[in-house]
C-alpha cells in the first residue's frame, strides 16, 4: 500500500486572505495565454494534415497504367459489415483492352452507400487486388439520399491512381515477350 504523506495545512497569511496576490497571478496567467499564438485551424481555408493510414471515404483506385484494379470478386461486398457495398460484375470491353478481356472481370457498377458505411476499412483489408482504399477524404455531403450513394465514376474520381508495387499486367507482358507466358 502506498505510503500516504499528510501535508500540513498552514493557515492563510494576511496577503492570501485578501485574495489580491492570487488575483494578480491569475491575471498574469490569462494575459500570458492571450499573448500566445493560437492553435486554431481556420478550417475551410486551412486543412489538417491527414496521416497516411487515415480511414476516410472508401474509394476505388486505378493502377499507374490507368487500368481498373477491381476484378469484381465481391469479397468486399461480402465482408462489409453494414452491407454498404453493392457490386454488379461485368465484362471488360474486348476492343479497349484486348489483353485483359476474357481474363479478368471488372465491375459494371460499383456502389458504396455512404449513409451505411462505417469506415471500418474491412473492404480495404480484404481486397486481393488492392483496388479499394480508404483515403484522406473526410467531409462528404449531399442534398439527397441518392447523392450519398457513391457510384463507380465518383469512386474512381475520388480514388485516382495509386502507385502499384506488384505490376501484375506488366509482369505478364514481360513474361510473354520472354516466351514463357504461363
Partner 1 sequence: MELLDASLPYLLPIVYALAMISVFMGLCSYSVLAERKVSSWIQGRVGPNRTRLPLLGHIPILGNFLTRLGIFQPAADGLKFLFKEEIVPGHVNKFYYMLAPVVALAPALTTMVVLPFGRYVDVDGITQPLVLANVDLGMLIILGISSLGVYGIVLAGWASNSKYPFLGGIRASAQMISYELAMGLALLPVFMWAAFPGSDYGMSLFGAVQSQQTLWLFIWQPLSALIFLVALFAETNRLPFDMAESETDLVGGFHTEYGCFKFGLFFVAEYAHVIMGSALFVLLFLGGWNFLPGLADPWGDGLIGTLLSVAWFTAKVFAMIFFFIWMRWTLPRFRYDQVMSLGWKILLPLAVGNLVFNTIIIALYDTFTR
Taking the least distance from each CB to partner 1, the nearer of 44 and 128 is: 44
22 phi and psi angles, rounded to 5 deg: -65, -40
Residue 41 Cβ vs partner 1, minimum distance, rounded to whole Å: 10
Residue 21 Cβ vs partner 1, minimum distance, rounded to whole Å: 13
**Spatial separation of the C-alpha atoms in residues 154 and 177, rounded to whole Å:** 36
Residue from 12, 15, 23, 50 binding partner 1 (CB under 8 A): 23
Taking the least distance from each CB to partner 1, the nearer of 26 and 160 is: 26
Residue 113: partners with Cβ closer than 8 Å, 6 or more residues away = 84, 85, 86, 148, 149, 150
Taking the least distance from each CB to partner 1, the nearer of 1 and 34 is: 34
With beta carbons less than 8 A apart as the criterion, state whether 60 and 66 touch: no
Residue 137 Cβ vs partner 1, minimum distance, rounded to whole Å: 25
Please give the residues from 84 up to 123 whose contact with partner 1 meets the rule CB under 8 A: none
How many Cβ atoms are within 10 Å of 121's Cβ, its own excluded? 16
Residue 43 Cβ vs partner 1, minimum distance, rounded to whole Å: 11
With beta carbons less than 8 A apart as the criterion, state whether 119 and 56 touch: yes
Q: Which of 86, 139, 89 is nearest to 113 (CA)?
A: 86
Cell numbers representing residue 90 in the block: 461485368
Cell numbers representing residue 163 in the block: 502507385
Residue 20 Cβ vs partner 1, minimum distance, rounded to whole Å: 8
Please give the residues from 26 up to 45 whose contact with partner 1 meets the rule CB under 8 A: 26-27, 29-31, 33-34, 36, 38-40, 42
Distance of CA 4 to the CA centre of its chain: 49
46 binds partner 1 (CB under 8 A): no
Residues contributing to the site for partner 1 (CB under 8 A):
23, 26-27, 29-31, 33-34, 36, 38-40, 42
Amino acid at each position: 500500500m502506498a505510503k500516504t504523506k499528510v501535508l500540513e495545512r498552514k493557515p492563510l497569511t494576511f496577503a492570501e486572505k485578501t485574495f489580491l496576490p492570487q488575483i494578480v497571478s491569475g491575471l498574469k496567467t490569462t494575459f500570458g495565454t492571450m499573448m500566445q499564438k493560437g492553435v486554431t485551424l481556420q478550417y475551410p481555408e486551412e486543412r489538417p494534415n491527414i496521416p497516411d493510414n487515415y480511414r476516410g471515404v472508401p474509394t476505388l483506385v486505378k493502377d499507374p497504367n490507368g487500368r481498373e484494379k477491381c476484378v469484381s470478386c465481391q469479397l468486399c461486398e461480402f465482408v462489409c459489415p453494414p452491407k454498404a457495398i453493392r457490386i454488379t460484375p461485368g465484362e471488360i470491353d474486348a476492343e479497349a483492352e484486348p489483353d485483359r478481356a476474357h481474363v479478368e472481370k471488372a465491375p459494371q457498377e460499383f456502389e458504396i452507400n455512404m449513409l451505411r458505411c462505417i469506415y471500418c476499412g474491412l473492404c480495404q483489408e480484404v481486397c486481393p487486388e488492392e483496388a479499394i482504399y480508404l483515403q484522406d477524404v473526410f467531409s462528404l455531403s449531399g442534398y439527397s439520399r441518392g447523392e450519398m450513394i457513391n457510384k463507380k465514376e465518383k469512386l474512381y474520381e475520388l480514388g485516382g491512381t495509386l502507385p502499384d508495387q506488384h505490376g501484375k499486367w506488366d509482369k505478364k507482358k514481360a513474361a510473354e515477350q520472354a516466351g514463357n507466358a504461363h
